Structure 1
Amino acid sequence: MPPFSRPFRAGTAAITLSAALTLGLGLTVFASDALAQTADTAETPAAISKTLPGKIVYTQLTTPDLAKAKAFYGALLGWTFQDRPVSRGHYAEALVNGHVVAGLVERPLPDTENPPQPLWLPFISALDVPTVAKAALQWGGKVLYRPTIVPGRGEQAIIADPQGGLFAALYAPHGDRDDTDATVQGDWIWNAILTPAPATSAGFYQKLFGYQVEDAPPPDTHQRYILDSQSIARATVNPLPARLPPDASARWIGFVQVDSVGSAAEKAVQLGGRVLVQPHPDHQNSMIAVLADPSGAVFGVMEWHDPSAAGDAK
Protein backbone atom coordinates (compact mmCIF):
# COMPACT_ATOMS: atom_id res chain seq x y z
CA MET A 1 0.00 0.00 0.00
CA PRO A 2 1.83 3.08 -1.17
CA PRO A 3 1.64 6.35 0.69
CA PHE A 4 0.95 9.78 -0.65
CA SER A 5 2.76 12.29 1.53
CA ARG A 6 5.57 13.96 -0.37
CA PRO A 7 8.55 15.73 1.19
CA PHE A 8 9.07 19.47 1.19
CA ARG A 9 11.66 21.67 2.81
CA ALA A 10 10.05 23.29 5.80
CA GLY A 11 11.70 26.61 5.06
CA THR A 12 10.73 26.54 1.40
CA ALA A 13 7.37 24.91 0.98
CA ALA A 14 5.69 24.44 4.32
CA ILE A 15 2.20 25.51 3.38
CA THR A 16 0.58 27.32 6.29
CA LEU A 17 -2.90 27.82 4.82
CA SER A 18 -3.74 31.48 5.07
CA ALA A 19 -6.77 32.96 6.80
CA ALA A 20 -8.75 32.47 3.61
CA LEU A 21 -9.42 28.92 4.82
CA THR A 22 -12.86 29.81 6.12
CA LEU A 23 -14.24 26.30 6.34
CA GLY A 24 -17.67 26.03 7.87
CA LEU A 25 -17.62 22.29 8.27
CA GLY A 26 -19.22 19.95 10.71
CA LEU A 27 -17.04 17.09 11.84
CA THR A 28 -18.72 13.86 12.84
CA VAL A 29 -17.47 10.32 12.65
CA PHE A 30 -18.09 8.51 9.38
CA ALA A 31 -14.79 6.67 9.39
CA SER A 32 -15.49 3.31 10.98
CA ASP A 33 -15.01 1.42 7.76
CA ALA A 34 -11.43 2.51 7.39
CA LEU A 35 -10.95 -1.00 8.77
CA ALA A 36 -12.18 -2.50 5.50
CA GLN A 37 -10.17 -5.60 4.66
CA THR A 38 -8.37 -5.49 1.33
CA ALA A 39 -6.32 -7.82 -0.75
CA ASP A 40 -2.55 -7.52 -0.55
CA THR A 41 -1.53 -4.37 -2.43
CA ALA A 42 2.13 -4.13 -1.42
CA GLU A 43 4.38 -2.59 -4.05
CA THR A 44 7.59 -3.94 -5.43
CA PRO A 45 10.56 -3.80 -3.04
CA ALA A 46 12.23 -1.01 -5.04
CA ALA A 47 9.35 1.33 -4.16
CA ILE A 48 9.34 0.54 -0.46
CA SER A 49 11.46 1.97 2.32
CA LYS A 50 11.68 1.21 6.01
CA THR A 51 8.90 2.40 8.29
CA LEU A 52 8.90 6.21 8.43
CA PRO A 53 7.08 7.21 11.64
CA GLY A 54 5.10 10.42 11.28
CA LYS A 55 4.77 10.24 7.52
CA ILE A 56 1.19 10.35 6.24
CA VAL A 57 1.20 7.21 4.17
CA TYR A 58 -2.39 6.64 3.07
CA THR A 59 -5.77 8.29 2.96
CA GLN A 60 -9.22 6.80 2.76
CA LEU A 61 -12.61 8.18 1.87
CA THR A 62 -15.77 6.83 3.42
CA THR A 63 -18.65 7.77 1.13
CA PRO A 64 -22.32 6.84 0.73
CA ASP A 65 -22.02 6.51 -3.07
CA LEU A 66 -18.86 4.86 -4.38
CA ALA A 67 -19.87 5.06 -8.04
CA LYS A 68 -20.48 8.81 -7.80
CA ALA A 69 -17.19 9.32 -5.94
CA LYS A 70 -15.25 7.36 -8.56
CA ALA A 71 -16.83 9.39 -11.37
CA PHE A 72 -16.04 12.67 -9.61
CA TYR A 73 -12.43 12.01 -8.64
CA GLY A 74 -11.66 10.19 -11.87
CA ALA A 75 -12.81 13.08 -14.01
CA LEU A 76 -11.34 15.77 -11.75
CA LEU A 77 -7.96 14.27 -10.83
CA GLY A 78 -7.38 11.60 -13.45
CA TRP A 79 -7.58 8.78 -10.91
CA THR A 80 -8.25 5.28 -12.14
CA PHE A 81 -9.80 2.65 -9.89
CA GLN A 82 -9.47 -0.99 -9.02
CA ASP A 83 -12.26 -2.65 -7.06
CA ARG A 84 -11.15 -4.82 -4.15
CA PRO A 85 -13.11 -7.49 -2.27
CA VAL A 86 -14.17 -6.57 1.26
CA SER A 87 -16.09 -8.34 3.99
CA ARG A 88 -19.14 -6.15 3.37
CA GLY A 89 -20.04 -3.27 1.12
CA HIS A 90 -17.80 -2.03 -1.67
CA TYR A 91 -14.20 -0.84 -1.73
CA ALA A 92 -11.95 0.54 -4.46
CA GLU A 93 -8.37 1.74 -4.69
CA ALA A 94 -7.52 4.90 -6.60
CA LEU A 95 -4.37 4.86 -8.70
CA VAL A 96 -2.13 7.40 -10.44
CA ASN A 97 0.46 6.10 -12.89
CA GLY A 98 -0.08 2.62 -11.48
CA HIS A 99 0.51 3.43 -7.80
CA VAL A 100 -2.22 3.54 -5.19
CA VAL A 101 -3.02 7.03 -3.88
CA ALA A 102 -6.17 6.38 -1.86
CA GLY A 103 -8.86 3.97 -0.81
CA LEU A 104 -12.60 4.57 -1.15
CA VAL A 105 -15.09 2.58 0.89
CA GLU A 106 -18.86 2.77 0.47
CA ARG A 107 -21.16 2.87 3.48
CA PRO A 108 -24.69 4.30 3.52
CA LEU A 109 -25.35 7.26 5.76
CA PRO A 110 -27.33 6.38 8.88
CA ASP A 111 -30.98 7.38 8.81
CA THR A 112 -30.74 10.13 11.42
CA GLU A 113 -31.68 13.79 11.56
CA ASN A 114 -28.03 14.92 11.41
CA PRO A 115 -26.09 12.17 9.63
CA PRO A 116 -22.29 12.26 9.83
CA GLN A 117 -20.36 13.98 7.10
CA PRO A 118 -18.35 11.82 4.68
CA LEU A 119 -14.65 12.46 5.14
CA TRP A 120 -11.10 11.76 4.08
CA LEU A 121 -9.13 10.06 6.84
CA PRO A 122 -5.31 10.35 6.96
CA PHE A 123 -3.19 7.37 8.01
CA ILE A 124 0.03 8.24 9.85
CA SER A 125 2.89 5.76 9.89
CA ALA A 126 3.81 4.32 13.29
CA LEU A 127 6.29 1.68 14.45
CA ASP A 128 3.97 0.43 17.23
CA VAL A 129 0.25 1.12 16.83
CA PRO A 130 -0.80 -0.14 20.30
CA THR A 131 1.77 2.17 21.88
CA VAL A 132 0.44 5.12 19.87
CA ALA A 133 -3.13 4.28 20.90
CA LYS A 134 -2.11 4.06 24.55
CA ALA A 135 -0.28 7.38 24.34
CA ALA A 136 -3.31 9.00 22.68
CA LEU A 137 -5.45 8.04 25.67
CA GLN A 138 -2.79 9.24 28.09
CA TRP A 139 -2.62 12.66 26.45
CA GLY A 140 -6.35 13.28 26.13
CA GLY A 141 -7.31 11.62 22.87
CA LYS A 142 -9.86 8.88 22.20
CA VAL A 143 -9.36 5.52 20.52
CA LEU A 144 -12.40 5.09 18.31
CA TYR A 145 -11.31 1.73 16.90
CA ARG A 146 -8.69 -0.26 18.77
CA PRO A 147 -5.55 -1.60 17.06
CA THR A 148 -6.57 -4.17 14.48
CA ILE A 149 -4.71 -6.19 11.87
CA VAL A 150 -6.12 -5.48 8.40
CA PRO A 151 -4.99 -8.02 5.77
CA GLY A 152 -3.08 -6.36 2.96
CA ARG A 153 -2.50 -3.20 4.94
CA GLY A 154 -1.10 -3.80 8.41
CA GLU A 155 -2.04 -2.88 11.97
CA GLN A 156 -4.09 0.27 12.41
CA ALA A 157 -6.19 2.16 14.90
CA ILE A 158 -8.55 5.11 14.44
CA ILE A 159 -8.01 7.91 16.92
CA ALA A 160 -9.49 11.31 17.75
CA ASP A 161 -7.08 13.91 19.10
CA PRO A 162 -8.11 16.01 22.15
CA GLN A 163 -9.67 18.64 19.87
CA GLY A 164 -11.62 16.05 17.85
CA GLY A 165 -9.37 15.70 14.82
CA LEU A 166 -9.66 12.21 13.32
CA PHE A 167 -6.74 10.17 12.00
CA ALA A 168 -5.49 6.61 11.85
CA ALA A 169 -2.15 5.23 13.02
CA LEU A 170 -0.78 2.54 10.73
CA TYR A 171 2.09 0.08 10.80
CA ALA A 172 2.63 -1.49 7.38
CA PRO A 173 4.88 -4.57 7.74
CA HIS A 174 6.27 -4.14 4.22
CA GLY A 175 7.43 -0.60 5.02
CA ASP A 176 6.55 2.83 3.67
CA ARG A 177 7.18 4.34 0.27
CA ASP A 178 10.42 6.28 -0.15
CA ASP A 179 10.45 10.07 0.10
CA THR A 180 12.27 10.55 -3.19
CA ASP A 181 9.44 10.16 -5.71
CA ALA A 182 8.34 13.29 -7.57
CA THR A 183 4.66 14.21 -7.37
CA VAL A 184 2.42 14.39 -10.41
CA GLN A 185 -1.14 15.49 -11.10
CA GLY A 186 -3.40 13.48 -8.80
CA ASP A 187 -0.85 12.78 -6.04
CA TRP A 188 -1.42 14.02 -2.50
CA ILE A 189 1.11 16.77 -1.92
CA TRP A 190 0.43 18.34 1.47
CA ASN A 191 -1.50 17.86 4.73
CA ALA A 192 -2.64 20.18 7.48
CA ILE A 193 -4.74 20.09 10.59
CA LEU A 194 -6.98 23.00 11.54
CA THR A 195 -7.45 23.13 15.29
CA PRO A 196 -8.66 25.45 18.05
CA ALA A 197 -5.42 24.84 19.98
CA PRO A 198 -2.42 24.71 17.62
CA ALA A 199 0.30 24.55 20.28
CA THR A 200 -1.51 21.84 22.26
CA SER A 201 -2.29 19.91 19.10
CA ALA A 202 1.32 20.07 17.90
CA GLY A 203 2.47 18.72 21.27
CA PHE A 204 -0.04 15.87 21.13
CA TYR A 205 1.15 14.67 17.74
CA GLN A 206 4.75 15.11 18.79
CA LYS A 207 4.20 12.76 21.74
CA LEU A 208 2.53 10.15 19.55
CA PHE A 209 4.79 10.15 16.51
CA GLY A 210 8.04 11.76 17.65
CA TYR A 211 7.72 14.80 15.41
CA GLN A 212 10.13 17.66 15.60
CA VAL A 213 7.90 20.73 15.98
CA GLU A 214 8.96 24.02 14.46
CA ASP A 215 7.35 27.44 14.34
CA ALA A 216 6.09 28.35 10.90
CA PRO A 217 8.04 31.14 9.19
CA PRO A 218 6.98 34.76 9.81
CA PRO A 219 4.36 36.17 9.90
CA ASP A 220 2.82 32.95 11.21
CA THR A 221 5.40 32.22 13.93
CA HIS A 222 3.83 31.11 17.24
CA GLN A 223 0.46 30.67 15.50
CA ARG A 224 1.20 27.78 13.14
CA TYR A 225 3.57 24.88 13.47
CA ILE A 226 5.38 22.49 11.17
CA LEU A 227 5.55 18.77 11.98
CA ASP A 228 8.81 17.18 10.77
CA SER A 229 9.95 13.57 10.75
CA GLN A 230 13.09 12.17 9.15
CA SER A 231 14.09 15.85 8.66
CA ILE A 232 11.19 16.33 6.25
CA ALA A 233 8.17 18.56 6.74
CA ARG A 234 5.08 16.34 6.92
CA ALA A 235 2.22 18.69 7.81
CA THR A 236 1.29 22.02 9.30
CA VAL A 237 -0.79 22.69 12.40
CA ASN A 238 -3.03 25.71 11.84
CA PRO A 239 -5.56 27.68 13.91
CA LEU A 240 -9.21 27.37 13.01
CA PRO A 241 -10.52 30.08 10.68
CA ALA A 242 -11.89 33.07 12.58
CA ARG A 243 -15.46 32.54 11.40
CA LEU A 244 -15.69 29.19 13.20
CA PRO A 245 -16.55 29.04 16.90
CA PRO A 246 -13.45 28.69 19.09
CA ASP A 247 -14.64 25.31 20.38
CA ALA A 248 -15.19 23.81 16.92
CA SER A 249 -13.63 20.40 16.36
CA ALA A 250 -10.25 20.04 14.71
CA ARG A 251 -10.10 18.55 11.24
CA TRP A 252 -7.39 17.23 8.92
CA ILE A 253 -7.30 18.28 5.30
CA GLY A 254 -5.19 16.83 2.51
CA PHE A 255 -4.21 18.60 -0.72
CA VAL A 256 -3.91 16.98 -4.14
CA GLN A 257 -1.51 18.30 -6.74
CA VAL A 258 -3.19 19.65 -9.87
CA ASP A 259 -1.88 21.42 -12.94
CA SER A 260 -4.31 24.33 -12.51
CA VAL A 261 -6.19 25.13 -9.31
CA GLY A 262 -8.57 27.45 -11.14
CA SER A 263 -9.49 24.83 -13.72
CA ALA A 264 -9.87 22.17 -11.02
CA ALA A 265 -12.26 24.38 -9.04
CA GLU A 266 -14.38 25.08 -12.11
CA LYS A 267 -14.47 21.42 -13.06
CA ALA A 268 -15.37 20.33 -9.52
CA VAL A 269 -18.52 22.45 -9.71
CA GLN A 270 -19.38 21.05 -13.14
CA LEU A 271 -19.05 17.54 -11.68
CA GLY A 272 -21.44 18.25 -8.80
CA GLY A 273 -18.95 19.35 -6.14
CA ARG A 274 -18.54 22.71 -4.41
CA VAL A 275 -15.83 25.29 -3.96
CA LEU A 276 -15.51 26.06 -0.25
CA VAL A 277 -12.47 28.31 -0.53
CA GLN A 278 -11.85 30.01 -3.86
CA PRO A 279 -8.48 29.61 -5.59
CA HIS A 280 -5.92 32.00 -4.16
CA PRO A 281 -2.16 32.34 -3.74
CA ASP A 282 -0.72 30.73 -0.63
CA HIS A 283 2.81 30.69 0.69
CA GLN A 284 5.92 29.93 -1.34
CA ASN A 285 4.68 30.18 -4.92
CA SER A 286 1.65 27.95 -4.56
CA MET A 287 -2.03 28.26 -5.40
CA ILE A 288 -4.65 26.44 -3.35
CA ALA A 289 -8.40 25.95 -3.16
CA VAL A 290 -10.60 23.87 -0.88
CA LEU A 291 -13.33 21.76 -2.46
CA ALA A 292 -16.08 19.36 -1.44
CA ASP A 293 -17.09 16.34 -3.50
CA PRO A 294 -20.77 15.64 -4.27
CA SER A 295 -21.23 13.83 -0.94
CA GLY A 296 -19.64 16.68 1.04
CA ALA A 297 -16.20 15.19 1.74
CA VAL A 298 -13.64 18.02 1.92
CA PHE A 299 -10.20 18.10 0.32
CA GLY A 300 -7.81 20.65 -1.09
CA VAL A 301 -6.09 21.12 -4.42
CA MET A 302 -2.68 22.73 -4.82
CA GLU A 303 -0.74 24.09 -7.76
CA TRP A 304 2.96 24.10 -6.92
CA HIS A 305 5.28 26.30 -8.97
CA ASP A 306 8.70 25.18 -7.73
CA PRO A 307 8.96 21.45 -8.43
CA SER A 308 12.74 21.55 -8.04
CA ALA A 309 12.20 21.96 -4.28
CA ALA A 310 10.16 18.79 -3.96
CA GLY A 311 11.98 15.83 -2.52
CA ASP A 312 14.58 17.86 -0.63
CA ALA A 313 15.07 17.47 3.07
CA LYS A 314 15.34 20.60 5.17
Structure 2
Amino acid sequence: MSELVTGEAVALELRPARLPSRAMAIVIDLIVAMVVYIAVTVALVAASASLDDAAQVALSIAAFLLVLVGGPIAVETLSHGRSLGKLAVGLRVVRDDGGPIRFRHALVRGAIGVIEILMTFGVVACIASLVSARGRRLGDVFAGTLVVRERIPVGPSGFLPPPPPWLAGRFSGLDLSAVPDGLWLAIRQYLTRMHQLDPQVGWAMAERLASDLAAHTGTPAPQDVPPGAYLAAVVQERQAREARRAYGSGTTEAGPSPASRPGPGVGVQGGYPYPGAQPAAPLSPQPPASYGVEAAPEGPAPAVPPEGRSASGFVPPA
Protein backbone atom coordinates (compact mmCIF):
# COMPACT_ATOMS: atom_id res chain seq x y z
CA MET A 1 0.00 0.00 0.00
CA SER A 2 1.25 3.49 -0.84
CA GLU A 3 0.10 6.67 0.88
CA LEU A 4 -0.48 9.41 -1.64
CA VAL A 5 -1.87 12.92 -1.35
CA THR A 6 -3.72 14.41 -4.28
CA GLY A 7 -3.19 17.89 -5.52
CA GLU A 8 -6.63 18.82 -4.17
CA ALA A 9 -5.34 18.33 -0.61
CA VAL A 10 -7.01 14.97 -0.08
CA ALA A 11 -4.77 12.46 1.64
CA LEU A 12 -5.59 8.93 0.61
CA GLU A 13 -4.35 5.45 1.33
CA LEU A 14 -4.19 4.11 -2.22
CA ARG A 15 -2.89 0.89 -3.65
CA PRO A 16 -1.01 1.04 -6.95
CA ALA A 17 -3.01 -0.71 -9.64
CA ARG A 18 -1.66 -4.09 -10.69
CA LEU A 19 -1.63 -5.82 -14.06
CA PRO A 20 -5.10 -7.52 -14.02
CA SER A 21 -7.07 -4.36 -13.22
CA ARG A 22 -4.98 -2.25 -15.58
CA ALA A 23 -5.37 -4.80 -18.38
CA MET A 24 -9.14 -4.79 -17.91
CA ALA A 25 -9.24 -0.99 -18.08
CA ILE A 26 -7.08 -0.97 -21.22
CA VAL A 27 -9.29 -3.57 -22.91
CA ILE A 28 -12.38 -1.45 -22.23
CA ASP A 29 -10.64 1.66 -23.56
CA LEU A 30 -9.43 -0.18 -26.68
CA ILE A 31 -12.90 -1.56 -27.41
CA VAL A 32 -14.40 1.93 -27.20
CA ALA A 33 -11.57 3.41 -29.30
CA MET A 34 -11.86 0.71 -31.96
CA VAL A 35 -15.63 1.21 -32.26
CA VAL A 36 -15.12 4.95 -32.71
CA TYR A 37 -12.24 4.34 -35.16
CA ILE A 38 -14.31 1.98 -37.29
CA ALA A 39 -17.20 4.42 -37.36
CA VAL A 40 -14.91 7.31 -38.35
CA THR A 41 -13.20 5.16 -41.01
CA VAL A 42 -16.51 4.14 -42.57
CA ALA A 43 -17.62 7.75 -42.64
CA LEU A 44 -14.34 8.86 -44.24
CA VAL A 45 -14.47 6.10 -46.87
CA ALA A 46 -17.98 7.12 -47.82
CA ALA A 47 -17.04 10.79 -47.93
CA SER A 48 -13.76 10.34 -49.81
CA ALA A 49 -14.86 7.82 -52.45
CA SER A 50 -14.11 10.31 -55.20
CA LEU A 51 -10.53 10.97 -54.02
CA ASP A 52 -7.44 9.15 -55.22
CA ASP A 53 -5.67 6.41 -53.28
CA ALA A 54 -3.01 8.69 -51.79
CA ALA A 55 -5.63 11.00 -50.29
CA GLN A 56 -7.54 8.07 -48.84
CA VAL A 57 -4.37 6.68 -47.24
CA ALA A 58 -3.60 10.09 -45.75
CA LEU A 59 -7.11 10.31 -44.32
CA SER A 60 -6.78 6.81 -42.84
CA ILE A 61 -3.51 7.73 -41.11
CA ALA A 62 -5.05 10.96 -39.82
CA ALA A 63 -8.04 9.05 -38.45
CA PHE A 64 -5.74 6.55 -36.75
CA LEU A 65 -3.69 9.28 -35.07
CA LEU A 66 -6.76 11.30 -34.14
CA VAL A 67 -8.83 8.49 -32.62
CA LEU A 68 -6.35 5.92 -31.27
CA VAL A 69 -3.60 8.34 -30.20
CA GLY A 70 -5.14 11.76 -29.71
CA GLY A 71 -8.37 10.44 -28.23
CA PRO A 72 -6.85 8.81 -25.11
CA ILE A 73 -4.56 11.81 -24.57
CA ALA A 74 -7.51 14.23 -24.68
CA VAL A 75 -9.67 12.05 -22.43
CA GLU A 76 -6.97 11.63 -19.75
CA THR A 77 -6.18 15.35 -19.83
CA LEU A 78 -9.78 16.53 -19.55
CA SER A 79 -10.79 13.89 -16.98
CA HIS A 80 -7.62 14.28 -14.86
CA GLY A 81 -6.52 10.69 -15.36
CA ARG A 82 -9.87 8.90 -15.56
CA SER A 83 -10.61 7.25 -18.89
CA LEU A 84 -13.78 5.25 -19.43
CA GLY A 85 -12.05 1.94 -18.68
CA LYS A 86 -10.30 3.29 -15.60
CA LEU A 87 -13.55 4.80 -14.36
CA ALA A 88 -15.31 1.44 -14.75
CA VAL A 89 -12.56 -0.48 -12.91
CA GLY A 90 -11.95 2.21 -10.28
CA LEU A 91 -8.50 3.41 -11.34
CA ARG A 92 -6.94 6.79 -11.89
CA VAL A 93 -3.68 8.14 -13.28
CA VAL A 94 -1.87 10.52 -10.91
CA ARG A 95 1.56 12.08 -10.74
CA ASP A 96 4.31 10.53 -8.65
CA ASP A 97 3.43 12.93 -5.81
CA GLY A 98 -0.28 12.08 -6.04
CA GLY A 99 -1.39 15.24 -7.84
CA PRO A 100 -3.60 15.36 -10.95
CA ILE A 101 -1.88 14.84 -14.30
CA ARG A 102 -1.60 17.50 -16.97
CA PHE A 103 -1.41 17.49 -20.75
CA ARG A 104 2.31 16.74 -20.86
CA HIS A 105 1.85 13.63 -18.71
CA ALA A 106 -1.00 12.37 -20.89
CA LEU A 107 0.98 13.17 -24.06
CA VAL A 108 4.00 11.11 -22.98
CA ARG A 109 1.80 8.23 -21.82
CA GLY A 110 -0.17 8.23 -25.08
CA ALA A 111 2.89 8.51 -27.35
CA ILE A 112 4.74 5.65 -25.68
CA GLY A 113 1.51 3.67 -25.41
CA VAL A 114 1.35 3.47 -29.21
CA ILE A 115 4.57 1.44 -29.15
CA GLU A 116 4.17 -0.66 -26.01
CA ILE A 117 0.42 -1.34 -26.34
CA LEU A 118 -0.75 -0.98 -29.95
CA MET A 119 2.32 -2.03 -31.94
CA THR A 120 3.40 -4.86 -29.61
CA PHE A 121 -0.14 -5.94 -28.66
CA GLY A 122 0.54 -5.02 -25.03
CA VAL A 123 3.48 -7.43 -24.56
CA VAL A 124 5.98 -4.69 -23.64
CA ALA A 125 3.47 -3.04 -21.30
CA CYS A 126 2.74 -6.34 -19.53
CA ILE A 127 6.43 -7.13 -19.03
CA ALA A 128 7.18 -3.63 -17.72
CA SER A 129 4.20 -3.75 -15.35
CA LEU A 130 5.25 -7.12 -13.97
CA VAL A 131 8.84 -6.00 -13.43
CA SER A 132 7.93 -2.65 -11.82
CA ALA A 133 7.43 -2.63 -8.05
CA ARG A 134 4.40 -0.36 -8.45
CA GLY A 135 3.04 -1.92 -11.62
CA ARG A 136 4.08 0.94 -13.91
CA ARG A 137 4.50 0.57 -17.67
CA LEU A 138 7.11 2.47 -19.68
CA GLY A 139 4.73 5.34 -20.36
CA ASP A 140 4.28 5.86 -16.62
CA VAL A 141 8.03 5.76 -16.00
CA PHE A 142 8.84 8.39 -18.63
CA ALA A 143 5.82 10.58 -17.77
CA GLY A 144 6.36 10.40 -14.00
CA THR A 145 2.89 9.01 -13.35
CA LEU A 146 1.30 6.16 -11.43
CA VAL A 147 -2.00 4.34 -11.88
CA VAL A 148 -3.70 3.86 -8.50
CA ARG A 149 -6.91 2.39 -7.19
CA GLU A 150 -9.42 5.01 -6.11
CA ARG A 151 -12.01 2.88 -4.31
CA ILE A 152 -10.11 2.57 -1.03
CA PRO A 153 -11.52 3.82 2.31
CA VAL A 154 -9.96 7.05 3.47
CA GLY A 155 -7.97 6.74 6.67
CA PRO A 156 -8.59 9.35 9.40
CA SER A 157 -4.89 9.97 10.06
CA GLY A 158 -3.80 11.12 6.63
CA PHE A 159 -5.06 14.72 6.63
CA LEU A 160 -2.51 17.51 6.41
CA PRO A 161 -2.42 19.86 9.40
CA PRO A 162 -3.39 23.39 8.39
CA PRO A 163 -0.87 26.21 8.84
CA PRO A 164 -1.45 28.99 11.40
CA PRO A 165 -4.11 31.48 10.27
CA TRP A 166 -1.67 34.41 10.27
CA LEU A 167 0.38 32.69 7.55
CA ALA A 168 -2.53 32.58 5.09
CA GLY A 169 -1.50 34.16 1.80
CA ARG A 170 2.00 35.05 3.00
CA PHE A 171 3.71 32.84 0.39
CA SER A 172 1.43 33.63 -2.55
CA GLY A 173 4.34 35.18 -4.45
CA LEU A 174 6.67 32.16 -4.28
CA ASP A 175 7.79 30.55 -7.53
CA LEU A 176 6.99 26.85 -7.00
CA SER A 177 7.58 25.72 -10.58
CA ALA A 178 11.11 24.44 -9.90
CA VAL A 179 10.21 22.33 -6.86
CA PRO A 180 10.43 18.63 -7.85
CA ASP A 181 7.56 16.25 -7.21
CA GLY A 182 9.74 14.08 -4.98
CA LEU A 183 10.29 16.96 -2.56
CA TRP A 184 6.56 17.70 -2.41
CA LEU A 185 5.89 14.08 -1.55
CA ALA A 186 8.56 14.10 1.17
CA ILE A 187 7.10 17.28 2.69
CA ARG A 188 3.57 15.88 2.70
CA GLN A 189 4.71 12.63 4.25
CA TYR A 190 6.49 14.59 6.97
CA LEU A 191 3.44 16.77 7.70
CA THR A 192 1.14 13.77 8.06
CA ARG A 193 3.56 11.99 10.42
CA MET A 194 5.30 14.80 12.28
CA HIS A 195 3.34 14.24 15.50
CA GLN A 196 4.55 10.64 15.57
CA LEU A 197 8.22 11.70 15.51
CA ASP A 198 10.51 12.64 18.35
CA PRO A 199 10.41 16.47 18.67
CA GLN A 200 14.16 16.89 18.05
CA VAL A 201 14.10 14.52 15.08
CA GLY A 202 10.98 16.16 13.65
CA TRP A 203 12.46 19.64 14.02
CA ALA A 204 15.70 18.63 12.28
CA MET A 205 13.75 16.97 9.46
CA ALA A 206 11.54 20.04 9.04
CA GLU A 207 14.59 22.32 8.90
CA ARG A 208 16.20 20.17 6.22
CA LEU A 209 13.01 20.06 4.12
CA ALA A 210 12.48 23.80 4.55
CA SER A 211 16.07 24.43 3.42
CA ASP A 212 15.59 22.24 0.33
CA LEU A 213 12.30 23.96 -0.47
CA ALA A 214 13.82 27.41 -0.10
CA ALA A 215 16.71 26.41 -2.39
CA HIS A 216 14.27 25.44 -5.16
CA THR A 217 12.03 28.51 -4.75
CA GLY A 218 14.96 30.93 -4.67
CA THR A 219 13.55 32.66 -1.56
CA PRO A 220 15.03 31.97 1.89
CA ALA A 221 12.71 30.59 4.53
CA PRO A 222 11.55 33.26 7.03
CA GLN A 223 13.36 33.13 10.35
CA ASP A 224 10.27 34.07 12.38
CA VAL A 225 8.27 31.05 11.19
CA PRO A 226 8.87 27.51 12.52
CA PRO A 227 9.96 25.20 9.70
CA GLY A 228 6.93 22.91 10.11
CA ALA A 229 4.52 25.83 9.82
CA TYR A 230 6.47 27.16 6.83
CA LEU A 231 6.16 23.81 5.04
CA ALA A 232 2.44 23.57 5.79
CA ALA A 233 1.80 27.11 4.54
CA VAL A 234 3.69 26.55 1.28
CA VAL A 235 1.91 23.22 0.68
CA GLN A 236 -1.44 24.92 1.26
CA GLU A 237 -0.47 27.62 -1.26
CA ARG A 238 0.39 24.93 -3.83
CA GLN A 239 -2.91 23.16 -3.17
CA ALA A 240 -4.78 26.41 -3.77
CA ARG A 241 -2.97 26.91 -7.08
CA GLU A 242 -3.68 23.34 -8.14
CA ALA A 243 -7.37 23.80 -7.34
CA ARG A 244 -7.56 27.04 -9.31
CA ARG A 245 -5.74 25.48 -12.26
CA ALA A 246 -7.77 22.26 -12.30
CA TYR A 247 -11.24 23.51 -11.38
CA GLY A 248 -11.12 27.26 -11.64
CA SER A 249 -12.07 27.65 -7.97
CA GLY A 250 -10.71 30.05 -5.43
CA THR A 251 -8.22 29.34 -2.74
CA THR A 252 -8.91 26.34 -0.61
CA GLU A 253 -9.34 26.72 3.12
CA ALA A 254 -7.99 23.88 5.18
CA GLY A 255 -10.06 23.31 8.29
CA PRO A 256 -8.99 21.65 11.50
CA SER A 257 -8.16 18.00 11.13
CA PRO A 258 -7.24 15.18 13.47
CA ALA A 259 -3.64 15.29 12.31
CA SER A 260 -3.32 18.90 13.53
CA ARG A 261 -4.03 17.93 17.13
CA PRO A 262 -0.97 16.96 19.16
CA GLY A 263 -0.85 13.36 20.27
CA PRO A 264 0.14 12.19 23.73
CA GLY A 265 3.77 12.73 24.60
CA VAL A 266 4.43 15.12 21.71
CA GLY A 267 5.51 18.68 22.36
CA VAL A 268 3.95 21.15 19.95
CA GLN A 269 4.07 24.86 19.36
CA GLY A 270 0.87 25.93 17.70
CA GLY A 271 0.37 22.38 16.40
CA TYR A 272 3.97 21.90 15.17
CA PRO A 273 6.80 20.13 17.03
CA TYR A 274 9.62 22.15 18.53
CA PRO A 275 12.92 20.93 20.02
CA GLY A 276 13.25 20.41 23.73
CA ALA A 277 9.58 19.60 24.25
CA GLN A 278 8.66 17.42 27.19
CA PRO A 279 5.74 14.98 27.32
CA ALA A 280 2.64 16.51 28.83
CA ALA A 281 2.06 15.52 32.44
CA PRO A 282 -1.16 13.60 33.10
CA LEU A 283 -3.95 15.53 34.71
CA SER A 284 -4.35 14.79 38.41
CA PRO A 285 -7.85 13.89 39.55
CA GLN A 286 -9.88 16.32 41.60
CA PRO A 287 -9.63 15.65 45.39
CA PRO A 288 -12.86 14.48 46.98
CA ALA A 289 -14.99 17.00 48.85
CA SER A 290 -14.66 14.99 52.08
CA TYR A 291 -11.03 16.13 52.43
CA GLY A 292 -12.14 19.70 52.92
CA VAL A 293 -10.83 20.92 49.55
CA GLU A 294 -13.21 22.93 47.48
CA ALA A 295 -13.87 21.20 44.17
CA ALA A 296 -12.80 23.04 41.06
CA PRO A 297 -15.56 24.15 38.70
CA GLU A 298 -16.27 21.85 35.81
CA GLY A 299 -15.00 22.64 32.33
CA PRO A 300 -11.53 23.62 31.11
CA ALA A 301 -9.97 26.80 32.39
CA PRO A 302 -9.51 29.52 29.79
CA ALA A 303 -5.99 29.56 28.41
CA VAL A 304 -4.30 32.96 28.72
CA PRO A 305 -1.54 33.36 26.13
CA PRO A 306 1.69 35.05 27.22
CA GLU A 307 2.21 38.68 26.37
CA GLY A 308 3.12 39.18 22.75
CA ARG A 309 2.13 35.64 21.72
CA SER A 310 -1.10 34.51 20.10
CA ALA A 311 -3.26 31.68 21.39
CA SER A 312 -1.95 29.43 18.63
CA GLY A 313 1.54 29.57 20.13
CA PHE A 314 3.18 31.41 17.23
CA VAL A 315 4.68 34.85 17.45
CA PRO A 316 2.87 36.91 14.79
CA PRO A 317 5.13 38.85 12.44
CA ALA A 318 5.74 42.49 13.18
The question of a shared fold, defined as TM-score above 0.5 by the shorter chain, is answered with: no
TM-score (norm 2): 0.24
- CA radius of gyration, larger in: 2
Q: Which has the higher contact order (CA 8 A, sep 6+)?
A: 1
Task: Write 1 or 2 for the structure with the bigger share of strand.
Answer: 1
Task: Write 1 or 2 for the structure with the bigger share of helix.
Answer: 2
TM-score (norm 1): 0.25
